[in-house]
Amino acid sequence: MLAAVGVCVVFAGFSAVLSQPFNGVHLEPDQSTRVPDGWRRIERVGESESVLLTFALKQQNLDKLEKLFWRGSDPEDERYGKYLSLEDITSLVEPSKETVEMVGRWLRGSGVTDCTTVLTRDFVECSMPARKAERLLGGVKFHRYTDGKQTVIRSEVKYLVPRHLKDHLDFVGGVHRFPSGFRLQVKEKIYQPNFHLGVYPSIIRGRYNLSETDVGSDPKNAQAVAQFLEQFYHATDLEEFMRLWGGGFPHLTKTDKVVGPDSGGAGLEASLDVQYIMSSGANISTWFWSTAGRHESQEPFLVWLTGISNMTSVPWVHSVSYGDDEDSLSTDYMQRINTEFMKAGTRGLTILFASGDSGAGCREVSKDTNVFRPSFPASSPYVTTVGGTMFHSPYEVGDEDADYISGGGFSNIFDMPDYQTSAVESYLNKSTKLPPKSYYNATGRAYPDVAALSDNYWVVMDLIPTPFISGTSAATPVFAGILSLINDLRFQQGKPALGFFNPLLYKSGWEYLYDVTVGCNLGCLDDLTNLQGFCPTEGWDPVTGWGTPNFTLMKKLV
């Protein structure tokens, strides 16, 4: 997926040989190197086995990028909807010549020459033998690990880079971070299958006021789902899903483009993502972004993210079900990911992330002391985060309650953005069920922003209708598809894409969404919270955001 663009320029003019011991520095001192639960070490990676590392080069003019991002997203700004091309963004943020030369000299001097870069020239990906990579990064030790389903190459020893490169690199990918993501839940043990309505396209479209004519028609429109769990989907499953449940509205039965390899096997998450974004955002060109079959040392999330920076034309709306605990990631890494989200928003892209399925989360900081555990990228101020709901009554399509698994809370890393300050302060002032203040950072970015049904979906996998699938991973493609329909109407009227949705959302969110005021998400299992996290109120709340879609009213966005 990475294009070999400008490699000769990037890596020209080296002379120094830096394979000798050097005065190293940790780029990500707060990055966890703990092996996650469920993973185990198999073996040391062979000396000549290749690893693939991603070097995030420091970018320029980030203050200007952020200013353009906010102005283009603010409906009250004269620059609202005036987006930049990828070429424009490259000219703005591409690394300085000094950065390119310094990093290139280090790599080439260490014998690393098999490298490519993305179009924006701020990520460089290099393949090299494992022992050479270990020397390059100050003595890391690469081992192979497995979770029983996939294998990865990682190091539990923190990496170093030469101290003189500290101001030229943000991080090195493919060393520490293990694949993460939200895995869908099956709730047949909680609900009796014979007595539950279940969720399928006509339920979604009926609840959210999508008529049979509320489908896409503009050829410029496109939407995408991204998959990180070594999963794919079967085209025959999509066709069968639409045969069973797509009869009431015009729809497509095939994706228009697949980016990345086909892993061969159908996965529950991948199948659900495609089937529901194409039934809520019906009749709209859809891409499937796959990271299956990647190299063992690659980080799947970075594969997707660098892919966005390597294509001049991509879909306008992206649904992403992926997340990790904030405290397991380095601040430098998350800040750079936020920059990539700003680049996307400045191009007019709308990126939605699932809020997670662990409620407010919980982390033990010391004996008898717990705190809530926010998730990233759900906690990023530069994306739209989607929480989850369930029907109040399992027997009818009607009011929704907060789903207890719905991820929500406050970031411990990122400050609360201006666009949500008033809404969040209102919630904090009027809520009568707040957890103890020591459990959360009331000044941090609060999430989710919106919600959709996340409980008891039907999915077709291997041509078999499978019921009772739940998670915010289900809610996210539904909301994404509906925003794609809004884009479609805007395009038909000659207007630009929505782009980053939140500034517009927070100015008038209550006007076009169903408010959710019943239920609470999960907290810590202790005496102070008794497994209760946050609870919704009228208006915005950190369980369901502003609420769930009402397409009849959302058309006002046009």
Question: Residues with catalytic annotation?
Answer: 269, 273, 473
413 vs 155: CA distance, rounded Å: 25
State the Cα–Cα distance between residues 313 and 542, nearest whole angstrom. Answer: 34
Phi, psi torsion values for 457, nearest 5 degrees: -85, 150
Q: Which residues are annotated as a binding site?
A: 515-516, 539, 541
The candidate with the shortest Cα–Cα distance to 341, out of 329, 353, 331, is 353
The number of residues in the chain equals 558
52 within 8 A of 298, measured Cβ to Cβ: yes
Distance CA 143, CA 156 (A): 8
Cα(507)–Cα(557) distance, integer angstroms: 12
- Phi/psi at 507 (nearest 5 deg)? -75, -25
DSSP-based three-state secondary structure for 164: helix
The 8-class DSSP code of residue 21 comes to -
Q: Which helix (DSSP H) or strand (DSSP E) does residue 277 occupy?
A: helix 268-280
Binding residues for Ca(2+): 515-516, 539, 541
Contacts of 494 (CB under 8 A, 6+ apart): none
Query: Which residue do the tokens 């509906």 mark?
Result: 482
Between the alpha carbon of residue 180 and those of residues 229, 301, 321, the distances in Å are 8, 9, 10
Contact 322, 181 (CB under 8 A): yes
Take residue 19 and report the two structure tokens written for it.
Answer: 């394979």
Dihedral over Cα of 134, 173, 57, 287: its sign: positive
